[in-house]
Every structure is written in structure tokens, then in C-alpha cells.
Amino acid sequence: MQTGPVKYAALCVTHNCNLRCRYCYAGAKVDRRMTLQTAKHSVDFLAAQAHDKCIVTFFGGEPLLEFPLIREVVEYSRREHGNKIEFRMNTNGTLIKPEVLAFFKETGTYFAVSVDGSREQHDAIRRFADERGSYDRIAAKLPEILEFNPYTIAVSVIVPETVTYLASGVQDLFARRFRYVLQTLDYSAGWTSADISALREQYTLLAEYYFAKLRAGKKIYYSPFDERIKTWAQKPYGPGDLCDLANSQIAIAASGRIYPCVQFISTDDGTFQQNAIGTVHDGFDAQRREYFIAENYRDKESCRGCPLYGRCATYCGCVNWRATGSLSQVPPIVCEHERMLMPIVDKLANKLWKNNVTLFKRKFYERTFPVSSYIEDCLISRRKNRAENQTG
């Protein structure tokens, strides 16, 4: 099997975290961290495995518990590898400080923030170790985070316990000036038919909200809608498009062991080490790596003849493995969710098209939209700043 260059890598700098989110797949929170030597080996390994560029995301646990290490790694990479490595981060945001934002601005390091919506929705699941809710802490930091990068992504997880807050929670995130909300189900949770019915109601409410926003010319991205509209307006998913674990995307544990994806690491000990596909010190185990790639690419028997083939998340081997223990076995909740959601999405897209919503057509049918949209935003921002300076 021909393997490709590594384009994306998660660097798990710690197994510890200051939160105890109930849906976390990262395993027990222990004070086990990546050494500077292992971090440097990781960067050197990734620079050698990449062709043009590799995007490295600091991960955990909570990576900002190890901010001094992150600083040294970024500076080392710049000295040794120039711009070949680009750095990103996933964080719960509670440890953001001015000096962190200043360093990230200086080095062009951007991050996504885990925030689940409104206070009720967020605090039910995302709590500190002493069971205090974390919403107020992160909400207080959102203005400076979004000033640092207006395109910061809000990452959230839908769980049965808070499904009735979904629509109001998503609207709250957009009201707080997020432009991008990336949201997925906790597919390993105990979803019931009543939960799915409630979720359908919430998606329907959000479809009305999404339509109103785009018709008003407001640029928002909501992944449950946008990603599925793309498969209808542009092209369906193929193997490797949605999930290319062990191939172009990998994860590196604090120990330096390489895994197909962050969801395979957990506590990086005991039976979890069976998922490893090498180490940054010794390189890839070619046989193990090829096994995971082949399993992820393998046709899913349950998908044969499905009218939604190529439009849903069944190509994500990480989701399959976490829920069923098999990369190629699709959990029933994925099928149930997609069959419920897709008609809502297609109805929304048809309504946007028939109403000749310009932003919708540009967003999904204009190839240059990402660039032209960014230029528009920059011009608007400059005009706003100029006006504020003149009135000030």
C-alpha cells in the first residue's frame, strides 16, 4: 500500500486537564506530560514526513497546562524547520491569558475553543474537577479570544442530557460573535428514540435560524448543515476525505508513541498501546500503519445501497472505532442521525436556492468564496476602524 505524506498531526503534550468533561474520550486525567526532548523529536519527525507543510495541533488533556513547553516547541520549530510546520491548538479556553494570546499572535498560532453553548448546556457537562461549571470562566474570555482571531472555531458536542438546549445554545454562540460552530454528536452515548425526536425538533429550529441569517447576509458556518450541503452542492465524501487516519493525519502521545488518531490514545498505556503505529524515535511500524489505513478505507457492508452513501460520517473510522470497536463497523446511531438530519438539511438548501439567497449561492457554488469573503471582511473591518478613529 502506498502511504502519503503526513499533513496533519495532533501533539498530545499532556494527559492532564483542569476540567472533567463527561464525554471526554481522552481517558483518565493523570499528570503525565511530554518532555521537551520528545517534543523536539516529534517536530523533527513530522518535518521529515511532510512534503510541503504539516499542520500540528497541540492537544491534551488541556494543552495550556504546558504553555512553557508549547512556547519552546514553536520557537524550536521556527529555528530548525522555518515555516514547514504550522501550529494550531484545541483548548477549553479557561487558561487563556494575555501573554498566551500575545505569543500566539506573534507566531501565527491559532486555536479552536471547546464551548458547548449556553450556560445550562455547557455547565451540565463541562465542569472543573471540583464539579463547578466552567461556563462563566470561558465566557469572560471570549471577547479577547475573538478579538485575537474573529474566525476562532467553537467546538461543541451534542449529548442526550442537553439536547433540548441545542438550538438556543448554538444561537448563543453566534450571538457572542462566533462565526464558526463545529458540532458533532457523542456517538458513544446512550441515545434513545425520544432523544432523536428532540434532536430533530432542535435541528428544525436551527434550520429556520440559519435560513434567516444567510438571507440577511450574515456569514455563519454550522457544521451539521454546511458539511452536508457541500456533499449535495459540490461533491460527496470519498475514502480519506473526511477521515484519513494513520495516513495523512496522525496523533502523537506524550510518550512519543504514534497513533492513527487522538481518539485511539486514551491513557497511552496497557491495551491502548496496541493501537500504536510506531514512535517518533524509531519511525512508523509500516505493517501496523497500513493495517489501519486499509481498514479505514474498506467498504462498509452496512452502507451498500444506502441513498446517503458518500454524504454522511461513515467514512470516519475514528467514530466507528470509538462506538463499536471496529473501524469498518458503522454504529447504528450514525445511520439514524444522518437519516433524520439529511432531509432537514436538503429542505433548507432547497429553500435557500428557491429564495435566491445570494450568500448561499456564493458560499456553496463560488469556488473563490473563501478568499473573496475574507477580503470583504478585511475591507469592512478597515472601514469600521477608520470610522471609529474619526469619531474618537
Question: Over the Cα atoms of the chain, what is R_g?
Answer: 21
Backbone phi, psi, residue 90, to 5°: -110, 125
Nine-digit cell at 164?
433540548
With respect to residue 317, please indicate whether it lies within any of the assigned structural domains: yes
- Residue 299 CA: distances (Å) to CA of 40, 75, 95, 239, 317: 38, 43, 43, 9, 11
Convert the pLDDT of each residue in 294-309 to its tens digit: 999 888 888 888 999 8
Q: How does the average pLDDT of the chain come out, rounded? A: 94
The residue range of the domain holding 334 is 8-373
With respect to residue 388, please indicate whether it lies within any of the assigned structural domains: no
CA torsion 340-298-259-224 (nearest 10°) is -20
With respect to residue 86, please indicate whether it lies within any of the assigned structural domains: yes
- Beta-strand (E) ranges in the chain? 8-12, 54-59, 85-91, 110-114, 153-158, 180-185, 221-222, 249-252, 258-259, 278-279, 283-284
Convert the pLDDT of each residue in 60-81 to its tens digit: 999 999 999 999 999 999 999 9
With respect to residue 241, please indicate whether it lies within any of the assigned structural domains: yes
Convert the pLDDT of each residue in 104-158 to its tens digit: 999 999 999 999 999 999 999 999 999 999 999 999 999 999 999 999 999 999 9
Mean pLDDT, rounded, for 335-346: 96
Mean pLDDT, rounded, for 378-387: 76
Which residue from 213, 167, 163 is spatially nearest to 192, judged by alpha carbons? 163
pLDDT band per the 50, 70, 90 thresholds, residue 1: low
User: Would you state the pLDDT for residue 351?
Assistant: 98
Convert the pLDDT of each residue in 220-250 to its tens digit: 999 999 999 999 999 898 878 889 999 999 9
8-state DSSP, 35: -
With respect to residue 48, please indicate whether it lies within any of the assigned structural domains: yes
User: Would you state the pLDDT for residue 208?
Assistant: 98
DSSP reduced 3-state for 68:
helix
How many Å is the maximal CA-CA distance in the chain? 66
Contact (Cβ atoms closer than 8 angstroms) between residue 166 and residue 207: no
Count of the separate structural domains present in the chain = 1
Convert the pLDDT of each residue in 174-230 to its tens digit: 999 999 999 999 998 999 999 999 999 999 999 999 999 999 999 999 999 999 999
Which residue from 390, 382, 328, 378 is spatially nearest to 151, judged by alpha carbons? 378
User: Would you state the pLDDT for residue 303?
Assistant: 87
User: Would you state the pLDDT for residue 392?
Assistant: 60
Contact (Cβ atoms closer than 8 angstroms) between residue 354 and residue 343: no
With respect to residue 384, please indicate whether it lies within any of the assigned structural domains: no
Q: If you search the block for the grid coordinates 464551548, which residue do you land on?
A: 115
* Strand partners of residue 283: 279
CATH of the domain at 71: 3.20.20.70
85-91: strand order across its sheet: 221-222, 180-185, 153-158, 110-114, 85-91, 54-59, 8-12, 249-252, 258-259
With respect to residue 1, please indicate whether it lies within any of the assigned structural domains: no
Nine-digit cell at 144?
479577547
With respect to residue 116, please indicate whether it lies within any of the assigned structural domains: yes
> Is pLDDT at 390 greater than 80 in this prediction?
no
| Beta-strand pair 283-284/278-279 | antiparallel
Cα–Cα distance for residue pair 327/55, rounded to 1 Å: 24
